[in-house]
Amino acid sequence: MKRRRILATVAMLAAGTGLVACSSDEGGSDASNCTNTITKQNVPVVTMWGWYPNTQLVVDNFNKQHDDVQVCWTNVGQGGDEYDKFQTAISAGTGAPDVIMVEADRIPTFQIQGALVDIKQYGYDAVKANYSEGAWKDVSVGDAVYGVPVDGGPMGMIYRKDIFDKYKITPPKTWAEYEQAAQKVKDAGGPLFGDFGANVPAVLMALQIQKGATPFTSDPAQPNAIGVKLNDQASKDVLDYWGGLAKKGLVGTQNQFTPEYISGVINGNYATYISAAWAPGYLTGAGVGKGQDTGKFAVAPLPQWDSANPVQVNWGGSAFSVTKQAKKPELAAKVAYGLYADKESLTDGWTNQIIFPLNLTALKDPAFVDLKVAFFGGQQANKEVYVPAADAYQGVQYAPFGQYYLDAMEKQVSEVIKGSITGSQAADRLQEDVAKYAKEQGFTVQ
């Protein structure tokens, strides 16, 4: 046990330093900097940034199938690392790739700066039917389309079967039951029931939306106006709920994605992990669910506030966008539409639990729906939890200053965790902070 723990730690630290190392690389756009090898010569090359674990395979698949264009892929870092570089390239007016992997919640941020191309004119009609309306909504601003959906993050409650069995609890269906179950486990001397991490503000935002909050509203006809509503009762309720769980010692307050948290998950320090469909791939990559842990995890639908009117939410998920710096936007759009859209790439993505596909050819494939997921001990997780959650997902209006909002939320949540303010106070402060920023940025705040 111990040795495995250390190995996992070392691997995580190595991954951490790897990220650091990546971030010092310049994401150059010339073909000599490709991570992949382009075998077909004398063909136009489209540069691309992305960080899916199986990008190499996806890019090779695409290149094999195309004689008119080849993709040159660079991994310039995951999430924020990539966005910081893209942001810098936007400001500099040079250095961005032609095609970039972007999470849906960041599309408005880059779109409002005029950094992305509306790809509706470049073959949208041909692939329109491959994705649901909700999937397109997440990558659109008004009528314009700024990305090709790849994966989504329908949320569920991952839990430890052995812990649930030991303390004789069944998966809670509501958040009230979740708290009761947490109390029961705690009273019996069991582990923490979940985690309230400051560094995953996107999860809290999703949970607030589940309760009925609408953080941002905007009208494409009036791009200068934005509605900011971060301290409505629903948002306060959710922050107070999680702040309360933490205060009562029912859940931990670790930062997620850290070696500390992962080792906790490995050791069974948490009975549940409120996360998205891509989490199993992430956890197995970090060494969870292997060896002695095999088959200990299961998944249940996300607990609800009102079980009569369930609401499904999303965490993460990403798309391919074409940047304004692309020299041949039409060719770049072809890549964006075609990359991670062929059967071979998609199948690899969902069998290895790297992505939860939004492409209907995969989503409706019985092999996908009925898949017995090894991480969940053969449970048909897609059929039971994730596909229904994805089908019921309504889409969200994201902020055009997503990075600022999430940073500000992280700051307030960490105060809640310290116990210096309540969840309601955090929501009020966040409202004030973000509304002020929006005004500074020239928006009319409603």
Partner 1 sequence: MGWLFVGPFGVVFLAFLIAPLAYALYLSLFQKKLIGGTSFVLFDNYVKAFTDPSFLSGAWFVIRFSLVSIPVQIIIALALALILDSVTTLFARFSRLMIFLPYAIPTVIGAVMWGFLYSRGFGPLTDIFGLFGATAPDFLSSDLIFYGLLNVVTWQWAGYYMIILYAALQGVDPTLYEAARMDGAGRWQIATRIKIPLIAPALILILVFSVIGTLQFFNEPQILRYLAAGTIGSDFTPNMYAYQQAFSLANFNYGSAISFALGGIVFICVYAFLFFTRKRRSFL
Provide, rounded to whole angstroms, the least separation between the CB of residue 436 and partner 1: 11
Provide, rounded to whole angstroms, the least separation between the CB of residue 252 and partner 1: 11
Strand partners, 152: 317, 356
Alpha helices in 339-445 (DSSP H): 343-351, 360-363, 366-369, 381, 387-392, 402-418, 423-440
Which residue, 113 or 351, has its beta carbon nearer to partner 1? 113
Q: By the 8 A CB rule, do 346 and 371 touch? A: no
Q: What is the DSSP letter of 288?
A: T
Which residue, 17 or 65, has its beta carbon nearer to partner 1? 17
Provide, rounded to whole angstroms, the least separation between the CB of residue 440 and partner 1: 7
CA distance 261 to 120: 42
- Residue 149's Cα: distance from chain center in Å? 13
Closest residue by Cα to residue 263 from 91, 5, 2, 4:
5
Which residue, 51 or 124, has its beta carbon nearer to partner 1? 51
Positions of E strands within 42-124: 45-49, 70-74, 99-103
Provide, rounded to whole angstroms, the least separation between the CB of residue 403 and partner 1: 5
Provide, rounded to whole angstroms, the least separation between the CB of residue 58 and partner 1: 27
Provide, rounded to whole angstroms, the least separation between the CB of residue 263 and partner 1: 5
**What letters, b where the CB count within 10 A reaches 16 and e where it falls short, cover 172-193?**
bbebebbbebbeebbeeebbbb
Which residue, 242 or 350, has its beta carbon nearer to partner 1? 242
Which residue, 171 or 223, has its beta carbon nearer to partner 1? 223
Residues that bind partner 1 (CB under 8 A): 5-6, 9, 13, 16-17, 20, 80, 83-84, 87-88, 90-91, 112-113, 197-199, 223-224, 255, 258-260, 263-264, 267, 400-401, 403-404, 407, 410-411, 413-414, 417-418, 440-443
Provide, rounded to whole angstroms, the least separation between the CB of residue 413 and partner 1: 7
Which residue, 254 or 314, has its beta carbon nearer to partner 1? 254
CA distance 50 to 140: 20
Amino acid at 254: Q
Which residue, 348 or 407, has its beta carbon nearer to partner 1? 407
